[in-house]
């Protein structure tokens, strides 16, 4: 069988974060096969494919397509070579019709005018060949997500692609739409196209792929025929048999219930249900870990618990007080603090000084203000002490927070939030993008907070981290809680991994 794609020794390091996203990866795809690229978030799958597609350039390594060595500098080059990528975030224009989106940049014309008829004929032919069932006159914003995806596929076929990369295509599809997508993929394969399918969902790998490659920490861990493996083995390879990060777990007496969430339903930006009737409770001194792949409702849950997103239905009670529709200020005052997952967007103000960043939310406290006026000497003294006790490496109190390293920025956010003395602390991806030292510090800090009889809701994409820190783990998938695990019973990573990926417990 011919090799359609051969990537050898691909290495990519991102200079701004220093992270080694791809570590000498060798990756091969045979012509006419459906090949899955499997791995957790951050494993390096998207980076590898973005290099293939011409969005990034690799630091080392070579790429060969259909036997010819290539070096793409633009996605347009890749398209000309026959490679197309269907991104997770569609490159579609919502207010244009399907037809307009399909022909943009490649419009058939009669003189100056668009020849929509000609386009329509050609596209309808393609659509029928692959049984895509596309209605050309509909507006993208009115069309289902599944249909939008087929439009992206058709867009690529229309431009002559025969190698197609799908980046987490089922992340936003309903089960029925997933079935339709797989039908389409099989048809694409029948017609001789090659498909690479990036995913983290084990059931899908088993269902659709011919072969699967597992990536972890930027390395190619294994490549095998799908029929020779099973979900359990794949889960283990994906998650890795790393030694559980052992933090000294203080023996803390779990107190009474402090937060209760009942039947919570929250809509996302596109008015789709993101949190689907979730219910759970959290006690004092407990760390609840939320395990789940990105985009399964975690962000919306966090936003509803901090007043940043409206709640469709359900209740949020803090120490018996109903806070369901309160504003962010109320949540803070009543005792829910939040370490946001995107610190540059919502955590710090990059142009403000360290001092000012720490002050956010604390500016009206009696010890810092006399009436309206801020007591900067007092604030500075406090800030200095805080930065020291949280081990923030900085040069000057007045320096812009944007200049700090990621780890130190995160420490500033943590310090600010922890010092509100909240009853509940929501930590969203607290160690994302941090180096080893900062990560260890953060985890130890969370333990200290727990020891102070506070409750912590920990959201992390790193399963081993969750297992090392949590008292209980709730697995989130498609906005629902799929299962609950207790530390006392010992955490079984394979079972958790399975539930995370939408599988059934065995």
Nearest alpha-carbon partner for 5 in 225, 196, 205, 169: 196
Q: Pick one of 20, 70, 145, 308: the residue that binds another protein (CB under 8 A).
A: 308
Nearest alpha-carbon partner for 43 in 229, 290, 213, 247: 213
Q: Pick one of 71, 109, 378, 451: the residue that binds another protein (CB under 8 A).
A: 109
Shortest CB 298 distance to another protein, Å:
16
Nearer to another protein, 253 or 345 (CB): 345
CB within 8 Å of 296: residues ≥ 6 apart = 476, 477, 478, 479
CA-to-CA separations, 185 to 170, 188, 227, in angstroms, rounded: 12, 5, 18
Q: Pick one of 114, 145, 171, 273: the residue that binds another protein (CB under 8 A).
A: 114
Q: Does 255 bind another protein (CB under 8 A)?
A: no
Q: Does 120 bind another protein (CB under 8 A)?
A: no
Shortest CB 224 distance to another protein, Å:
33
CA distance 437 to 292: 25
Q: Does 182 bind another protein (CB under 8 A)?
A: no
Shortest CB 40 distance to another protein, Å:
26
Shortest CB 96 distance to another protein, Å:
7
86 close to 164: Cβ distance less than 8 angstroms: yes
Shortest CB 156 distance to another protein, Å:
11
Q: Does 310 bind another protein (CB under 8 A)?
A: no
Enumerate residues 365-404 that contact another protein by CB under 8 A.
369, 372-374, 376, 393-396, 398-399, 402-404
CA distance 336 to 369: 23
CA distance 63 to 80: 15
Nearer to another protein, 350 or 464 (CB): 350
Q: What is the dihedral of CA 102, 106, 109, 114, to 10 degrees?
A: 40
According to DSSP, the residues that pair with 69 across neighbouring strands are: 64
Burial string for 149-180 (b: 16+ CB within 10 Å, else e) reads bbbbbbbbbbeebbbbbbbbbbbbbeeebbeb
Nearer to another protein, 390 or 491 (CB): 390
Question: Read out DSSP for 103-120?
Answer: HTTS--EETTEE-HHHHH
164 close to 188: Cβ distance less than 8 angstroms: yes
Shortest CB 340 distance to another protein, Å:
6
What count of Cα atoms within 13 Å lies in the side-chain half-sphere of residue 346? 13
450 close to 287: Cβ distance less than 8 angstroms: yes
Q: Pick one of 281, 361, 432, 453: the residue that binds another protein (CB under 8 A).
A: 361
Per the listing, tokens 């006419």 go with 32
Nearer to another protein, 414 or 499 (CB): 414
Nearer to another protein, 15 or 175 (CB): 15
What binding mask, one character per residue, do residues 19-58 give for another protein by CB under 8 A, x or -? ------------------------------------x---
Q: Could you give phi then psi for residue 264, rounded to 5 degrees? A: -80, 125
Q: For residue 140, give the DSSP letter.
A: G
Q: Pick one of 254, 328, 391, 480: the residue that binds another protein (CB under 8 A).
A: 328
Q: Pick one of 219, 333, 334, 384: the residue that binds another protein (CB under 8 A).
A: 333
Q: Does 145 bind another protein (CB under 8 A)?
A: no
What binding mask, one character per residue, do residues 51-70 give for another protein by CB under 8 A, x or -? ----x---------------
Q: Does 139 bind another protein (CB under 8 A)?
A: no
Q: Pick one of 2, 67, 69, 112: the residue that binds another protein (CB under 8 A).
A: 112
Q: Does 346 bind another protein (CB under 8 A)?
A: yes
Contacting positions for another protein (CB under 8 A)? 55, 75-76, 91-96, 100, 103-107, 109, 112-114, 306, 308, 327-329, 331-333, 338, 340, 345-352, 356, 359-361, 363-364, 369, 372-374, 376, 393-396, 398-399, 402-405, 416
């Amino acid at each position: 069988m011919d090799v359609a794609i051969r990537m050898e020794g691909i290495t990519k390091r991102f200079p701004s974060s220093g992270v080694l996203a791809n570590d000498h990866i060798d990756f091969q795809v045979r012509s006419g096969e459906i090949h899955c690229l499997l791995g957790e978030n951050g494993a390096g799958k998207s980076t590898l494919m973005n290099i293939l597609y011409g969005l990034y350039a690799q630091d080392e390594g070579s790429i060969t397509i259909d036997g010819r060595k290539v070096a793409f500098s633009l996605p347009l080059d890749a398209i000309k070579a026959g490679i197309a990528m269907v991104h997770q975030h569609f490159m579609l224009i919502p207010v244009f019709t399907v037809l307009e989106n399909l022909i943009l940049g490649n419009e058939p014309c009669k003189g100056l005018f668009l020849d929509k008829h000609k386009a329509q004929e050609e596209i309808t032919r393609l659509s029928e060949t692959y049984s895509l069932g596309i209605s050309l006159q509909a507006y993208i914003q009115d069309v289902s997500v599944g249909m939008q995806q087929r439009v992206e596929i058709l867009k690529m076929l229309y431009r002559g692609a025969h190698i197609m990369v799908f980046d987490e295509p089922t992340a936003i599809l309903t089960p029925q739409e997933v079935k339709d997508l797989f039908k389409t993929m099989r048809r694409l394969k029948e017609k001789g196209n090659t498909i690479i399918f990036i995913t983290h969902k084990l059931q899908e790998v088993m269902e659709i792929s011919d072969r699967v490659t597992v990536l972890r920490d930027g390395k190619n861990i294994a490549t095998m025929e799908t029929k020779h493996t099973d979900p359990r083995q794949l889960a283990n390879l994906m998650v890795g048999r790393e030694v559980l990060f052992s933090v000294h777990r203080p023996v803390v007496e779990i107190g009474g219930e402090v937060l209760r969430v009942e039947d919570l339903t929250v809509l996302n930006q596109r008015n789709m249900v993101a949190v689907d009737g979730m219910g759970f409770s959290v006690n004092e001194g407990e760390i609840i870990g939320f395990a789940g792949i990105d985009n399964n409702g975690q962000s919306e849950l966090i936003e509803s618990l901090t007043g940043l997103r409206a709640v469709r239905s359900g209740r949020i009670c803090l120490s018996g007080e109903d806070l369901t529709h309160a504003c962010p200020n109320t949540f803070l005052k009543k005792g829910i603090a939040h370490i946001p997952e995107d610190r540059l967007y919502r955590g710090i103000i990059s142009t403000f000084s360290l001092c000012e960043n720490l002050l956010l939310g604390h500016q009206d406290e009696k010890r810092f203000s006399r009436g309206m006026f801020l007591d900067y000497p007092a604030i500075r003294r406090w800030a200095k002490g805080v930065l020291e006790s949280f081990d923030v490496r900085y040069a000057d109190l007045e320096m812009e927070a944007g200049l700090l390293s990621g780890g130190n920025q995160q420490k500033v956010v943590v310090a600010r939030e922890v010092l509100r003395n909240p009853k509940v602390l929501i930590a969203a991806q607290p160690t994302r993008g941090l180096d080893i030292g900062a990560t260890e510090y953060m985890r130890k800090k969370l333990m200290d907070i727990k020891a102070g009889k506070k409750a912590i809701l920990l959201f992390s994409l790193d399963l081993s981290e969750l297992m090392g820190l949590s008292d209980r783990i709730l697995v989130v998938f498609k906005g629902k809680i799929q299962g609950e695990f207790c530390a006392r019973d010992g955490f079984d990573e394979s079972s958790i991994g399975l539930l995370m990926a939408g599988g059934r417990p065995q």
